[in-house]
Structure 1
Amino acid sequence: MRPTPFCKCLMLAASVMLLGLSACTTQTVVDSSAAGASFTVTPQALAPATALEIHIAHINDHHSHLEADPDFEMGIDGITTRVDAGGFARLTTLFKASEHLPNLLKIHAGDAMTGTLYHTLYQGEADAALMNTVCFDVFEIGNHEFDEGDAGLRGFLDHLRKGKCRTAVLAANVEPAIGSALAPSAAHDYLQPYVLKRFGEVTVAIIGIEVRDKTMHSSRPLRSTLFHDEVDTAQKTIDVLRAQGIRHIVLVTHQGYEADKAMAARLGEVDVIIGGDSHSLLGDFSAIGIRATSGPYPSVVYNRDGERVCIGQAWEYAKAFGLMQIRFDDRGAVLGCSGTVTLPIGDDFRRKVGSGDFVAVDMATRKRIRERLQEQGAARVVAADPVAEAELARFAGRLAEMKRQKIGIARESLCLVRVPGESTNRSAGLSGCEDANTLARGSDIAQAVAEAYRQASRLADIALQNGGGIRTALPRGDVTYNTAYTVLPFNNVLFELRLSGRQIVEILEEAVGNYLDRGSSDGSHPYAAGLRWDLDLSQARGSRFTHIEVMRKGSDTWEALAPEQIYTVVTSDFLALGGDGYATLAEVHQTGQSVNTYLNYTQTFVDYLLAQGTVARPLRASYSHQKVVGRDGKALP
């Protein structure tokens, strides 16, 4: 076991530390063993717990969405209203406005990268620069931080280290090999298991936990980088900290809202979980026309000791800011928590006129809207931070020309859904997508992307796409290169594989079983072109897919999928290599029965848009999901 290096002020003699120097308030003092099971701790003199109140300002999953959404839709007094919303510079303003609060932690719960051209062009540099306008206390890495491998993550973290912030980067259950990109000299060169934050006489521990299976199978870490069990690692770390007298435990996780709730119930001595990964919107936003949220904010559950645990998450794409207040008693137990998730917006309110266009409201209406928003509290007019705006401007210039090039028109919004019936509407705020998550057809945009793959392949009967590979909906209106690369931001190419009908059924069951049975990412949920089915999510594996039909290449009729018949399937290299639990595809690929088309998957979608000129939702009969029964046994409309 290897002791972790201290920050410089902790290198002072222990006798000096005991005098109460406060110059170094954040301390890293723990290291994990190779097994992720035991720790070496440098003893410290810790004061007894006293009643404490802390504040946590947090975001997650901004995914390189640094600019504001110019056409976010809200319902104000029942009237559809468009506004400029979110953007990292507005988040910076809210973080800075919170700095007067006592005992404040500023937290980013992961997935800073991958999602827009800012990532494609700058590979994390732009994200790091904007994050450094906040100076987060901690950043818990997300699975997408590994999309460009360990070396790509290291490059991003090198940018994050520039300047004065010195943000602690956490991942207690991630163990890079010594000598690799993330541990060139020692285990914690880049990633730390936790940090300690001292507020007066009380020490609060902040532990980082990365999602294990999803990162291993859905991103591209080195094989030598180990990912340990989330719950086991969290509990072992908590136990070590409690043995040292630390009574206040905050977990920063990147594993999803439902996993956070399940984890809390299995852990002892945990107080707060600030999470990311599932892009969950928590709170009540019905006053501004957003009906689908995943739970209350904060969500209060109970740990295995029967004590309160406060859980928070703040949606996605730099559109939301979470601020939680937690009160502890003198034993270190949570007395209660409160807080809000705020959607920061501009005041350029636009409403539809007779022509169908959205135009700016008059001054009197603008004033009334602002007053209503102030009463409701869900959305708040926020000015962009000038320092953050200046940083963004440094990177925006090189993107401008590429972003402006028009490649097509969307006649209607193509909504984004991962799993039909999911609780959070990933397309909330987009006209025509108000109830998209509740409908059996699922993701319009995933269906369109699959159609693009199938048309690009000269041989494929079927195109297969995972729901998590699509990152945003496609808004109605002009489609640009920027739109396409925001929808499909990864560096994937297309593979063609020859599969039997029996193997195709097994692949579909694997895709759904990945999250229903294995508890891994629901980004595995399948969509297809040239293949359609009925799906019952309440059934056991092997009985979920029925009435599976295929339309062979060159045919215009549907026929039953034949178990022994061979079909050509086109899909991304990510799935062909077994990503997201697609094990059967990986087995076929490993036998040499796959062909790399060298077609870039985003460029394929661009070519599809250029060829179509105008795109709309596919015909309902072409959707892969024909009938869907949810996990609760109820049929979706």
Structure 2
Amino acid sequence: MRQTSLSSVLPTSAAALALALTACQTPPLQPPAPVAGLEINIAHINDHHSNLEPHRDFELLLGGVPTRVEAGGFPRLTTLFRASAERPNLLKVHAGDAMTGTLYHTLYNGEADAALMNTVCFDAFELGNHEFDESDAGLQRFLDFLRNGQCGTAVLAANVAPAIGSPLAPRTPNDYLQPYLLKQLGAVTVGIIGIEVRGKTMNSSRPLPGTRFLDEVDTAQQTIDALRVGGIRHIILLTHQGYDADLAMAARLTDVDVIIGGDSHTLLGDFSAIGITASSGPYPTVARNRDGDPVCIGQAWEYAKLFGLLQVRFDERATVVGCSGEVTLPIGDDFRQKDGTGAFVAVDAAQRMRILAQLSGSGARVVAPDPIAQAELARYAGRLDDMKRQRIGIAGQSLCLVRVPGESTNRSSGVAGCEDANTLARGSDVAQAVAEAYRQASNLADIALQNGGGIRTPLRQGEITFSTAYTVLPYTNVLFELQLTGRQLVEALEDAVGNYLDRGGSDGSHPYAAGLRWQLDLSKPQGSRFSHVEVKRKGSDAWRAVEPDASYTVVTSDYLATGGDGYATLARVHQAGKSVNTYLNYTQTFVDYLLARGTVTRPAASEYSHQSVITREGKRLP
């Protein structure tokens, strides 16, 4: 197989792209002849977020029995990629957000992620929004690590235009980023176009001001049109914008055949046989483009848990005639079930055989880690061990992770006690705990505010280590204290929800708070969704209605204080000089909170920020 990626100036129009296509290829790729019965296989992952090790206590429900097992981990994904190597016309792609999420990123700044990715040798990697968390220079550092291998992975982002002289474009716009990859599969050339989420990256990460982010749909169509002019008839979009955005984009584009996506951490496929029921749709999902032709859409969940393998069949007119495939949860064979005392212990040989039989057709599969990838991981794991082992507290019960109460995806799947967390009005237990940590760390704050997307994992019942804390809060934020009126406080809450309901932003903006509670109706128009907003002042045990003209001190991350995730009201307060940087590291604040408490549990029902929730569909949650 031969692959070619552009190193010319990033085109901004179909004509310019067509000119680049014909002028910059050496040797030129010939327009493909019609091929009957072409099949393309696409192996893919997304959003591994520096989760390189397996999830050691992942809980499945097998034959109605809770069963814990080691799940995922990058070396197991590498095994599945290698096992797919004999498939005809295979493409290996990563749909973004490789970095940020565990101590492997904190300590190695992308080096460990790149090393494990290079055990797969991806054909293409699409930038995720979190690739810009440490600005363009941090992304450049990661891409340099990726280049250290022999893979030659193309890094795609058709709608990202770094400024000349900046870290991502020291000499030309395509020094690091390419708009698309052309892949020769036998007699056929396939175009793979990268699309990065625009608003979320600009508002939720830290790209340089000079790095431009273009409209996703317009850029995709312009690039498709230019590739079609150049004779390319099979078009794949590799996106990082979320499952719903992929569905919406498919309907607006002509001549798109496949979309492999990331960003929304969406579980597709049927895993109900092993007790995982929060799927957002079938795998693959089949949509229709603007031409009325099928579009095959795939995504592979999150955190190195899932491997997607999509098969796409075309007719002689290069129209999709079939989408099929499977998503696999790779697991170990260390099955543990409860004994008479309630402790999880290894099952006996007979029960192990029964479990293996139950896994058939379930979506889970026993997979051995790839030895080369395992050796790479071991090189980086050693330096983390001492830090990771230090205990800082105990979770008396599992603190579940939810972004928006009522969301379809259960982000706490596999965590005992969190089986229905996404269906409950209270929302995120762990976000409540983090907000309380902020509030206690501040000497002045009446209220602590936390966005749901800033919390990355739930807290399992049991021991909490430094590693756990830095996985829950993996970023490098500090805490700010702001002075808000009651009116501005409610406006900030409305900003947070309006960010995803009205402005197409990330639902990671959804608010949680300590010292503040409300009733929320997501079916109402903007400005009227929050009611019965009450505050518990610093040093008081009484809940009082928020007074519009009263002044309140709010502690939150610098990210929200400066307007991240659509918190425009907080940004205006900050710009008006009504904020103070406490220089308290937000993760260390959470660590100190856990060390001081010893044991953390879910708060009393009266302390939850969400006192009642009606979904956007009008359903009242329990």
TM above 0.5, one fold? yes
Residue 41 of structure 1 deviates from its aligned partner by 2.2
Structure 2 counterpart of 1:583, one-letter code: A
State the match for 1:307 in structure 2. Answer: 293
Residue 30 of structure 1 deviates from its aligned partner by 6.2
Q: Do the aligned partners of 1:36 and 1:173 also contact (CA within 8 Å) in 2?
A: no
State the match for 2:183 in structure 1. Answer: 197
**CA deviation string 1:71-128 (max 9, x = no partner):** 0000001110000010000000000000000000000000000000000000000000
Secondary structure in 2 matching 1:292: coil
Secondary structure in 1 matching 2:341: coil
Deviation larger for 446-455 or 38-47:
38-47
Alignment partner for residue 532 of structure 1, among 504, 517, 525?
517
**CA deviation string 1:155-187 (max 9, x = no partner):** 000000012101000000000000000000100
Partner Cα separation in structure 2 for residue 248 and residue 455 of structure 1: 56
State the match for 1:41 in structure 2. Answer: 20
Secondary structure in 2 matching 1:89: helix
Partner Cα separation in structure 1 for residue 412 and residue 158 of structure 2: 33
Partner Cα separation in structure 2 for residue 36 and residue 599 of structure 1: 49
Structure 2 counterpart of 1:199, one-letter code: L
**CA deviation string 1:141-166 (max 9, x = no partner):** 10000001100000000000012101
Structure 1 unmatched ranges of 5 or more: 1-21
Secondary structure in 1 matching 2:265: coil
State the match for 1:551 in structure 2. Answer: 536
**CA deviation string 1:466-525 (max 9, x = no partner):** 001000001110000000000000000000000000001110010000000011111100
Q: Do the aligned partners of 1:470 and 1:488 also contact (CA within 8 Å) in 2?
A: yes
Secondary structure in 2 matching 1:32: coil
Partner Cα separation in structure 1 for residue 90 and residue 223 of structure 2: 23
2:10 matched to 1:32?
yes
Secondary structure in 1 matching 2:587: helix
Residue 31 of structure 1 deviates from its aligned partner by 4.2
2:579 matched to 1:598?
no
Partner Cα separation in structure 1 for residue 234 and residue 582 of structure 2: 54
2:469 matched to 1:490?
no
State the match for 2:112 in structure 1. Answer: 126
Alignment partner for residue 71 of structure 1, among 29, 39, 57?
57
Residue 320 of structure 1 deviates from its aligned partner by 0.3
Residue 27 of structure 1 deviates from its aligned partner by 3.8
State the match for 2:69 in structure 1. Answer: 83
Residue 630 of structure 1 deviates from its aligned partner by 0.5
Residue 341 of structure 1 deviates from its aligned partner by 0.8
Alignment partner for residue 379 of structure 1, among 364, 376, 381?
364
Secondary structure in 2 matching 1:371: helix
Partner Cα separation in structure 1 for residue 39 and residue 324 of structure 2: 11
Partner Cα separation in structure 1 for residue 239 and residue 392 of structure 2: 39
2:485 matched to 1:475?
no
Q: Do the aligned partners of 1:29 and 1:42 also contact (CA within 8 Å) in 2?
A: no
Structure 2 unmatched ranges of 5 or more: 23-27
State the match for 1:327 in structure 2. Answer: 313
Residue 26 of structure 1 deviates from its aligned partner by 3.5
Please give the residue correspondences for 1:130-529 in structure 2 after superposition, counting only pairs within 5 Å.
130-373=116-359, 375-529=360-514
Structure 1 counterpart of 2:152, one-letter code: R
Q: Do the aligned partners of 1:276 and 1:313 also contact (CA within 8 Å) in 2?
A: yes
Identical pairs, percent? 72
Structure 1 counterpart of 2:571, one-letter code: A
Residue 47 of structure 1 deviates from its aligned partner by 2.4
Residue 371 of structure 1 deviates from its aligned partner by 1.6
**CA deviation string 1:55-77 (max 9, x = no partner):** 00000000000000000000001
Secondary structure in 1 matching 2:219: helix
Seen in structure 2, the aligned counterparts of structure 1 residues 34 and 376 have a Cα distance that, compared at 3 Å, is closer
**CA deviation string 1:575-628 (max 9, x = no partner):** 011000111111111111100011100000000000110010111110000100
Q: Do the aligned partners of 1:412 and 1:475 also contact (CA within 8 Å) in 2?
A: yes
Alignment partner for residue 108 of structure 1, among 71, 80, 94?
94
Residue 49 of structure 1 deviates from its aligned partner by 2.8
State the match for 1:57 in structure 2. Answer: 43
State the match for 1:117 in structure 2. Answer: 103
Secondary structure in 1 matching 2:227: helix
Partner Cα separation in structure 1 for residue 215 and residue 271 of structure 2: 35
Residue 32 of structure 1 deviates from its aligned partner by 2.6
Give me the TM-score of the superposition, normalised by structure 2: 0.98
Residue 29 of structure 1 deviates from its aligned partner by 6.8
Partner Cα separation in structure 1 for residue 472 and residue 307 of structure 2: 23
Partner Cα separation in structure 1 for residue 70 and residue 84 of structure 2: 22
Seen in structure 2, the aligned counterparts of structure 1 residues 35 and 464 have a Cα distance that, compared at 3 Å, is farther
Structure 1 counterpart of 2:316, one-letter code: D
Structure 1 counterpart of 2:222, one-letter code: K
Q: Do the aligned partners of 1:576 and 1:589 also contact (CA within 8 Å) in 2?
A: yes
